């Protein structure tokens, strides 16, 4: 690391613009330094985006034989990006730009960039390049192993990967010691300002309110969802999903949709935000709602102010804020009655004969069926939260060393029984179901839900008429365009006028399911 950093220092010094004349010294140098800061940050962003392109390829079209080399390639790019992120010249530049930042408004692009770049720099210098490269290799290898092991219900193969993931998570946390909880540094990375304790408090409060709602909704005779489970051709499913996400505002000039194992959204640049989906011919909901979910992430990324492109500000604010948006489009919008008032006729035309005798109301109830189920990504919007809480609790326990990796399958079964009240028959549909567990993102799921709580239910009436622009532009204007300028808590306050809390989310559920929740 040190050797390369020195070499870069030399290059950086050689390319620093010459000092300007005396008359402009007071202003010009700061602007030049700011331009140099942006150049350096662009380089880091370009390397990161190149790594993301390799990751997208690995998860979509790469032949299996490419796995080994791909791991090394991604690690090499991560290491290069990290080395540039910890370059001492960058730190010096940030120091020198402090007085300049102090003269600018807090929410200006320039002051925000200096502030966020400094925060990133100070965190990055705590982490050795060697750790970054090992974590990257691990992520790629583990993903490949998981792709084989999950369908084979093979926990034994994944056990060493799980152990290694925990070890890497613990090693990473220790770079930030002292901390209050070992998960705090990981949570801070995903959602600045959150801690294990604050997420625990939020989840505990939510669980208390949610359990009676889930109980009320699952006690009564459940919705008939047979209309979603016959046979739906892949081509038609993909075509329908495409029409839906195009209509809500996903820009195909700046993105594309492909198939994968575990759907995701990836940003290669402002002009290239890609999403993926998976199709099950016997289940209409998989491709449709995973496309909507990922399109929600993509709408956010495609709407970040283009002037922030190539800098650390040019992407979504945090994991939690991102998840609040994907779930807003997937559930609050995509599972609303108004949404289907508009799209149901198109669905009926896409699958001739299959929905002729299914009333809109039956379909609406089917896609909103609340049940105690095994798979997080297939869970309804109400029980979904319980799946997240279980993962969070188990992750904390493993990081604390209070739960051994080999005991995870049993802890998973016990946890599912306690949280969701169903027990998986095997590990395939138990602890092996989530790729996140095996790609080094320990602590990430802690935030998956936290920020979604602020997603308010005021969906404009326009949705029933297929008009999504009013909602989209409100979100773009108030939230998306800011990129990563503000901390999640600051952003929530700016956008909603209140602190992050579970109130709006619970009111939304109570209103939506009012006819099915007994008082
Ligand atoms: Zn998501």
pLDDT in tens, 356-383: 999 999 999 999 999 999 998 888 988 9
Average pLDDT over every residue of 26-30 = 68
pLDDT band (50, 70, 90) for residue 305 = very high
pLDDT in tens, 119-148: 999 999 999 989 998 998 888 888 889 989
Is the pLDDT at 47 greater than 60, yes or no? yes
Question: Mean per-residue pLDDT for 20-46?
Answer: 80
Query: pLDDT per residue over 197-240, tens digit each?
Result: 988 988 898 899 889 999 989 887 778 999 999 999 999 999 99
Ligand 1 centroid to 11 CA: how many Å?
Answer: 40
Alpha-carbon gap, residue 32 to 20, rounded angstroms:
9
Confidence of residue 469 (pLDDT cuts 50, 70, 90): confident
In this predicted structure, the answer to whether residue 389 has a pLDDT above a threshold of 80 is yes
Q: What is the distance between the alpha carbons of residues 30 and 54, in angstroms, rounded to a whole number?
A: 36
Between the CA of 331 and the centroid of ligand 1 the distance, in Å, is 12
Helix ranges, 175-310 (H): 184-190, 196-219, 234-248, 284-302
Mean of pLDDT over the chain: 87
* Nearest-angstrom CA–CA distance, 488 and 391: 22
Q: How far is the CA of 450 from the centre of ligand 1 (A)?
A: 12
**Residue 57: alpha-carbon gap to chain centroid:** 19
pLDDT of 454 over the 80 cut? no
358, 365 Cβ separation under 8 angstroms: no
User: Ligand 1 centre and the CA of 332: distance in Å?
Assistant: 14
The answer to whether residue 449 scores a pLDDT higher than 70 is no
Band of pLDDT at residue 26, cut at 50, 70 and 90: very low
Q: What is the pLDDT of residue 437?
A: 52
The CA distances from residue 502 to 44, 285, 509, in Å, are 37, 27, 11
Q: How far is the CA of 1 from the centre of ligand 1 (A)?
A: 34
**Average pLDDT for residues 246-257, to the nearest whole number?**
98
Looking at residue 364, its pLDDT comes to 96
For ligand 1, the distance from its centroid to the CA atom of residue 280, given in whole angstroms, is 19
Show which residues are catalytic: 294
């Amino acid at each position: 690391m040190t050797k390369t950093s020195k070499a870069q220092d030399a290059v950086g010094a050689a390319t620093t613009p010459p000092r300007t004349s005396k008359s402009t010294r007071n202003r010009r140098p700061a602007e030049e330094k700011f331009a140099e800061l942006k150049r350096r940050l662009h380089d880091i962003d370009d390397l990161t985006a190149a790594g993301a392109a390799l990751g997208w390829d690995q998860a979509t079209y790469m032949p299996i034989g490419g796995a080994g080399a791909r791991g090394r390639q991604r690690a090499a790019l991560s290491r290069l990006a990290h080395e540039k992120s910890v370059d001492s010249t960058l730190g010096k530049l940030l120091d020198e730009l402090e007085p300049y930042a102090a003269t600018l408004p807090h929410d200006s692009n320039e002051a925000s960039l200096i502030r966020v770049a400094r925060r990133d720099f100070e965190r990055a210098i705590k982490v050795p390049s060697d750790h970054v490269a090992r974590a990257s290799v691990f992520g790629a290898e583990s993903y490949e192993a998981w792709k084989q092991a999950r369908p084979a219900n093979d926990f034994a193969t994944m056990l060493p990967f799980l152990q290694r993931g925990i070890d890497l998570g613990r090693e990473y946390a220790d770079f930030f010691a002292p901390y209050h909880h070992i998960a705090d540094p990981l949570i801070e990375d995903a959602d600045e300002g959150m801690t294990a304790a604050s997420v625990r408090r939020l989840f505990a409060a939510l669980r208390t309110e949610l359990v009676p709602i889930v109980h009320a909704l699952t006690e009564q005779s459940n919705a008939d969802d047979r209309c979603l489970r016959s046979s739906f051709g892949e081509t038609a499913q993909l075509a329908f999903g495409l029409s839906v996400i195009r209509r809500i505002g996903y820009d195909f000039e700046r993105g594309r949709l492909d198939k994968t194992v575990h759907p995701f959204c990836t940003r290669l640049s402002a002009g290239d935000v890609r999403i993926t989906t998976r199709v099950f011919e016997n289940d209409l909901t998989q491709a449709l709602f995973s496309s909507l979910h990922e399109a929600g992430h993509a709408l956010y990324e495609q709407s970040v102010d283009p002037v922030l492109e190539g800098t650390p500000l040019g992407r979504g604010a945090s994991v939690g804020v991102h998840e609040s948006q994907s779930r807003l489009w997937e559930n609050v919008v995509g599972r609303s009655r108004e949404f289907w008032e508009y799209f149901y006729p198109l669905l009926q035309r896409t699958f001739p004969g299959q929905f002729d005798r299914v009333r809109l109301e039956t379909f609406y109830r089917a896609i909103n069926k609340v049940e105690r189920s095994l798979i997080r990504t297939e869970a309804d919007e109400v029980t979904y939260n319980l799946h997240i809480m279980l993962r969070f609790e188990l992750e904390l326990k493993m990081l604390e060393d209070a739960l051994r990796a080999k005991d995870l399958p049993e802890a998973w079964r016990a946890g599912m029984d306690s949280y969701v009240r169903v027990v998986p028959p095997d590990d395939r549909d138990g602890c092996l179901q989530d790729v996140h567990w095996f790609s080094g993102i320990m602590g990430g799921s802690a935030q998956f839900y936290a920020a979604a709580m602020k997603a308010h239910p005021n969906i404009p009436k326009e949705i029933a008429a297929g008009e999504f622009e009013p909602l989209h532009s409100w979100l773009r204007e108030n939230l998306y365009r800011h990129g990563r300028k503000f901390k999640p808590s600051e952003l929530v306050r700016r956008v909603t006028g209140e602190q992050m809390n579970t109130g709006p989310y619970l009111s939304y559920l109570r209103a939506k399911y009012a006819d099915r929740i007994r008082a």
